[in-house]
Amino acid sequence: MPSTIKGLFLFRIYNSRGEPSIKVSVMTEKGLFSACAPHGASAGKYEAKNLEVGKIEKIFPRIKKNFIGLEADFSLIDEMLERFGGKDFAKIGGNFSIALSQAVCKAGSQNNPHRLFGQAKYFPFPLGNVLGGGAHGGGTDIQEFLAMPIKAKTIQEAAETNFAIWRRAASALKAKGFVAGRNDEGALVSRLSDLKTLDLLSEIAEDFGARIGVDFAASELYSRGEYTYSKLGKSFSEREQLEFVLQLIRTYKLAYAEDPFQQNDFSSFCELAKKAKCIICGDDLFASHAGRLKKGIKTGAGNAVILKPNQAGTVSRILGTAELARKNNFINVVSHRSGDTCDSFISDLAVGIGAPLIKCGIMGSERAAKMNRLIETWESAGRPGMAKLKV
């Protein structure tokens, strides 16, 4: 029986960085279903545009009326959000749009991912952010140093491996006197250089049978033809950046490299994908946008795509991008944001679309919430195996 939207509520909440954010709740005859908007620090130029919470609060009473009485069907609601949102959702805010879209999705399925997406066939490997820097805070220029527990047989085992790698890294840093704190994504920060950080993580990961990867978030390093590594005291031309990335992939046997080049450089992604045996993933490059991914597929710009629902603006859009990737053998990598909440919709999304990888962090309640949701739905899905992923 389809349910009807009987009430719509907006709340000013705060994300894990303490920034104002929003929560949208949808009331139907089946109950109250809520979703929260996350927020990026290394946000790309091509993402849906956010609107300040104060502005959303002002327009909400006017928008709200249009949704009351409609069926809680996210594709129907998403069409309206497209119409009201205008270019890049700037009129209503991509943050409002994605929160409402996800809340309706949860309402329509009564928060049961199996009802929404069908029975899960396998579970994604969590790409865990162990050590970090860049725009998330920390001593390195590279934003994220990630663990991929590829040998895990279950999602529970994968989670435990990532927690163990994080803890081992924390005690190694403490023992060396490199005081370990945590950044925006709960990743460890230290005074170790980028290369020493890679030395440390690759050694620890090997002990746990895991592979490693990095998110360069290279748009943050780029300006006017140069990539500046301020901690390394080096500036690279576009060609030198390609060589540097290749060298890191080969030296550290990286299984995964995200945004190794700035968000407009499709051709370097393409060149790297030809030369490296590695998952080459576009985040800011594609901004979860089907049109940009289409261009990437055509030009061979990498072989994987980050899916952040709030980059896209609606659930329908993110599903469209995921389907395009799947049909063209691009690996779907569902992802959280650095400023996040305990909303765990992305876990259901990753399982629902059969994504082989999910980036949901390791430490912090807002990160654990996603992992815990994966474990919970794994039980109710009849404990399926892990994704088939060749690395």
- Which residues of this protein are in contact with ligand PGA, per CB under 6 A? 40-43, 135, 215, 217, 283, 335, 337-338
Which of Zn ion, ligand PGA, none sits in contact with 337, Cβ below 5 to 8 A by type? ligand PGA
Which of ligand PGA, Zn ion, none sits in contact with 338, Cβ below 5 to 8 A by type? ligand PGA
Q: How far is the CB of 98 from ligand PGA (least distance, A)?
A: 13
242 vs 360, beta carbon nearer ligand PGA: 360
Which of Zn ion, ligand PGA, none sits in contact with 78, Cβ below 5 to 8 A by type? none
Q: How far is the CB of 134 from ligand PGA (least distance, A)?
A: 8
Q: Which of 47, 78, 220, 283 binds Zn ion (CB under 5 A)?
A: 283
Q: How far is the CB of 184 from ligand PGA (least distance, A)?
A: 7
Q: How far is CA 74 from the centre of its chain?
A: 21
17 vs 294, beta carbon nearer ligand PGA: 17
Rounded Cα–Cα distance for residues 196 and 334 (Å): 28
* Residue nearest to ligand PGA according to CB distances in the complex: 40
Residue type, 281: C
Nearest Cα neighbor of 72 from 94, 102, 99 is 102
Rounded Cα–Cα distance for residues 363 and 2 (Å): 38
Q: How far is the CB of 113 from Zn ion (least distance, A)?
A: 24
Rounded Cα–Cα distance for residues 167 and 174 (Å): 11
10 Å CB burial of residue 326 (0-12, 13-18, 19+) is middle
Query: Given CA atoms 149, 351, 356, 388 in this order, what sign does their dihedral have?
Result: positive
Q: x/- binding map, residues 250-279, to Zn ion, per CB under 5 A?
A: --------x---------------------
* Element of type H or E holding 125: strand 125-132
5 vs 248, beta carbon nearer ligand PGA: 248
Which of Zn ion, ligand PGA, none sits in contact with 129, Cβ below 5 to 8 A by type? none
Rounded Cα–Cα distance for residues 97 and 172 (Å): 43
43 vs 324, beta carbon nearer ligand PGA: 43
Write down how long the chain is: 391
Which of Zn ion, ligand PGA, none sits in contact with 41, Cβ below 5 to 8 A by type? ligand PGA
Six token digits for residue 235 = 């500036």
Active site residues: 185, 308
Residue type, 125: F
Q: How far is the CB of 383 from ligand PGA (least distance, A)?
A: 29
135 vs 350, beta carbon nearer ligand PGA: 135
Rounded Cα–Cα distance for residues 366 and 313 (Å): 21
144 vs 348, beta carbon nearer ligand PGA: 144
Q: How far is the CB of 197 from Zn ion (least distance, A)?
A: 17
Q: Where are the alpha helices (DSSP H) in 111-237?
A: 113-117, 155-176, 194-207
CB 283 within 8 A of CB 44: yes
CB 165 within 8 A of CB 199: no
Which of ligand PGA, Zn ion, none sits in contact with 211, Cβ below 5 to 8 A by type? none
Q: x/- binding map, residues 203-232, to Zn ion, per CB under 5 A?
A: ------------x-----------------
Bridge partners of 282, per DSSP, are: 305
Nearest Cα neighbor of 359 from 312, 309, 324, 316 is 309
Q: Does 184 bind Zn ion (CB under 5 A)?
A: no
Q: How far is CA 130 from the centre of its chain?
A: 15
Residues that bind Zn ion (CB under 5 A): 215, 258, 283
